[in-house]
Amino acid sequence: MGNSVLLLDSNKESLTSISEILELSGYNVIALEKNQDVLNIINTVRPEVILIDLKIRDNDGLQLAYELKQYPELNTIPIIGIIDYYLSRVPFKLINFFGITHYLLRPFNPLDLIGKIESALNNSGKGVGV
């Protein structure tokens, strides 16, 4: 059984395609279209990695990442931000301030996605596990 990944993306097509890529790569995926009850889900499931669309509909993805990092028990979970190419001029030092450890520019190659997750897992000391 692979590592678990929590995926938050307000675009249903993107949510489905990313979930499929991750599942085919051996990850257990918890996919959410909204960040409603995300803390309860994280505390129940304890994902090894969190993927957040930074422009998620019902809350700013940067704000959500920042809020998650305020909980000491969640502070070690790496967060990967998904950024649309047209938003790529966001200063990446600012992104790090909000607790995002890695980022992906959309559109991205599935191998880039898996590489970012493996890098995040290795940097967190949790190993690859898939």
Q: Which domains does the chain have, with CATH numbers?
A: 4-124 (3.40.50.2300)
| pLDDT of 92 above 70 | no
pLDDT, average across residues 109-121:
94
pLDDT, average across residues 10-22:
93
10 Å Cβ neighbour count for 70?
A: 9
Q: What is the pLDDT of residue 87?
A: 55
The single residue listed with the structure tokens 């960040």 is 35
Q: What is the pLDDT of residue 48?
A: 95
Q: What is the pLDDT of residue 86?
A: 55
| pLDDT of 59 above 60 | no
Q: What is the pLDDT of residue 57?
A: 56
Instruction: State both tokens at 19.
Output: 């979930």
Report pTM: 0.85
